[in-house]
Amino acid sequence: MTFTRIATGDALAVLRQLPSKSVHACITSPPYWRQRDYEIDGQIGWEATPEEYLARLLPVFDQVQRVLRPDGCCWVVLGDTYVKKCLALIPGRFGSAMIARSWICRNRIIWHKPNPIPASATDRFTVDHEEVYFFTKCARYFFEQQFVPYSPKTTDRLRQFVRNGERFDALRHKSYNRQGGMRILEHLAHKNLQVKGRSSHTMHKKRANGEGEPLLRPEGANMPAVWTIPVGHCKELHFATYPEELVEIAVLAGCPEGGIVIDPFSGAGTTGIVCERLGRSFLGIELSPAYADMSKRRIQGARKKPAPRAGRAVREPSVGEPPARVAPPSMPMEPLALSFFSGAMGLDIGLEEAGFSVRLASETDEDARTTISLNRPSLPLIGDIMECSATQVRTAAGIGPAEIDLVAGGCPCQSFSTAGNRKALDDFRGKLLLKFACLAVELRAQYVLIENVRGLLSAGKGRALEKVVGMLADDGYAASFCLYNTAYFGVAQQRERLVIIGSRNGHRVPYLAPTHSDRLGDGLPPWRTLRDVVGDMANAEHHHVEFSEERQAFFKKLQAGQNWRHLSKEDQKAALSEAARGAAGGKTGFFRRLAWDKPCPTLVSRPDMPATDLCHPEELRPLSVEEYRRIQGFPDHWKLCGDLVSQYRQIGNAVPVLFGKAIGLTILEHIRTLRSDDPVPGFRYSRYAGTNDRDWAGARMRQKTRV
């Protein structure tokens, strides 16, 4: 069973996502230097000098070398360019550089074009060829010889040679020996005329007696290293299409039936068309979305055409037998993510909506584990990460040595929350954060994502956050972090969460791109409100806890958007104890009816707790589990297990789905571009100051100086 996929993105970034030793062949034609400006950021081929061009191109083939199997091969079609009337010799420089990077160059093939583009130059010859480099990764590799018909001259000479009873004699045919002609005839007439059970001498004797024609190999002669093939044509906009016949030779020679071919510069998708026809899996990578769409259209159109003639005859492979069926490499299109502290899977759903493929969940809470299994029955699920090694995680996820793009987790927050004892890393739950960071590093994930509460910024006087970021930095990760109000990302909830993202490629990940704002000057849509997400649920079935009758009496006196301060002075004294009334803070959570026209406050583990009431704007009840689910962005069909209190807790502790999606999109964009510039410089994501890596680091330094 084969597959065909086109990935849109930077070749180097996408290749880094593929597991090592996973593809059989690479067949590609990179953009030629200074030949065409494709007018897209990040393109290769428009650099100022050949050196800069090769400096960007060669790392792509370093990744190709990594993803190739030991018996794999790489075919590169590359043209040259004139600079101030002088050939830049780009193909030669490229070939030498590839050899210096441990590639084995088996052939430098000349692609002769009988229909070249006419040249207007009057002081040089027309260039009617390009070079095709055939590289291998190791000395032994898969290769099926290709053949061409014998020339009429060869068959005529062989026919005469055999009928005359000639047999090659190096002393007698010295002149022929120097030219090699007699050696070729001897090879054809005697060494290659053997039939099973019959010696070449017997065959020669029969031919010498005039019995029949000389026996030639039915396949023909070995293919030479000069290929005369007309230039390909594409009806759409791509100007640099190479011909299907050229690709066919490389596919048949270098990739076993059912194997995987990759083209990191897919262009018009010609390699994919040939792979589909010849029964090979194909993964194309294309930076330009327009050309990626063109590739898909051309491949889809080719499927509707009748299959062309059979390909060339081939001999038995030189290394091993080709597999009957090859699974696609792990996650060529969807980056691979592992989830820890998964809970009800809000973060996971968001990452999946962004484009990640979540391959593993981890959770210890029994109700949450049941929720995960009910909604994702085929997803591997592990328990306590304190008892897991990186090898065990990979085994459980079933990913083997595949490169992991993202390890994500919202570690328990009780040790860092300003509402708790704040034992930070001294608490066993705080130690989970360190274990998670160690495990992510051990897994060699490309990106590490940590989500937690605002209190992590100040827990242990900042030492907890400093410790975690330092651990990532020690292993080469560039870490950025910021405190975000989720309302800026389309969540109908003012929920502030700290997000740390570490990047193993050493490039800092920028802050998230906001989609909504409460400030007119930002030019974004306004924050989404409670009405936007639950206003249509009046007739839905709701499951919720109840307020006591005593508390209901006070809620009856309040309107949407009001709290205990809107009660009469007498009722205020009755509703809140003297200690509660004298406590610090605004106490706006006491007897709070939610407002329709504002985002919901932070959803807590249950909506009927006195200091954090979440009462429906109109009805005499707390928010229901169904409303919790909708506010957090979970799909309505998402099933929750456990009793009501457990369901509230699972949803209340979850990462809002849209917030998780925003994080995932930011990481995917960084995988593609490696850009570190913030999408909206100076954007205020939180009402608190000093809550991003830049500001926090400066404040931390000043704090240490004072001490």
Give the residue numbers marked as catalytic.
Answer: 413
- Copy the structure tokens of residue 305: 């055409």
Kindly give the residue spans of alpha helices, DSSP state H, lying in 443-583: 463-474, 530-534, 549-555, 569-575, 578-582
Q: Which long-range contacts (CB under 8 A, 24 or more apart) does 573-581 make?
A: none
Residue 473 — φ and ψ, nearest 5°? -65, -35
Q: Which of 627, 668, 634, 676 is nearest to 654 (CA)?
A: 634
Torsion sign, CA atoms 374, 375, 376, 377: positive
DSSP readout, 517-532?
A: BS-GGG-SPBPP-HHH
- 109 Cα distance to chain centroid: 33
Between CA 7 and CA 27 the distance in angstroms is 16
Residue 613 has which token pair? 């009431």
Q: What is the DSSP code (8-state) at residue 37? A: -
Name which of 450, 497, 498 is nearest 472 in CA terms: 450
Instruction: Output DSSP code: residue 386.
Output: G
Provide the token pair at 259.
């194997």
Please calculate the CA angle 416-456-624 and round it to the nearest 5 degrees.
65
**Tokens of residue 161, six digits:** 């040679």
Instruction: With H, G, I as helix, E, B as strand and everything else as coil, classify residue 84.
Output: coil
Strand pairing partners for 494?
Answer: 601
Rounded to whole angstroms, how far apart are CA atoms 361 and 403? 17
Q: How many CB atoms lie within 10 A of CB 252?
A: 20
C-alpha–C-alpha distance, residues 47 and 32, integer Å: 11
Measure the CA–CA gap between 433 and 468, rounded to whole angstroms. Answer: 8
Angle (nearest 5°) at CA 580 between 576 and 582: 115
Residues 501, 663: contact at Cβ < 8 Å? yes
What the block records as the tokens of 621 is 């009840």
Task: Tell me which DSSP letter residue 461 carries.
Answer: G
Locate tokens 């490629």: which residue?
Answer: 505
- CA distance readout (Å), 614 to 2, 419, 707: 53, 18, 42
Supply 418's token pair.
């300003």
Please list the residues that pair with 340 across neighbouring strands: 409
Look-up of token digits 């707790």: 609
Write the Ramachandran bin of 220: left for phi over 0, alpha for psi from -120 to 50, otherwise beta: left
Closest CA to 360 of 325, 407, 317, 323: 407
For residue 424, give both structure tokens.
Answer: 């930070």
Hey, what amino acid is at 596?
W
33, 220, 586 from 581: Cα distances, Å: 74, 97, 10
Residues 6+ apart with CB under 8 A from 696: 457, 462, 465, 481, 690
- Residue tagged 């597991």 (tokens): 19
What value does the CA radius of gyration of the chain take, rounded to a whole number of Å? 34
H/E element, 481: strand 478-485
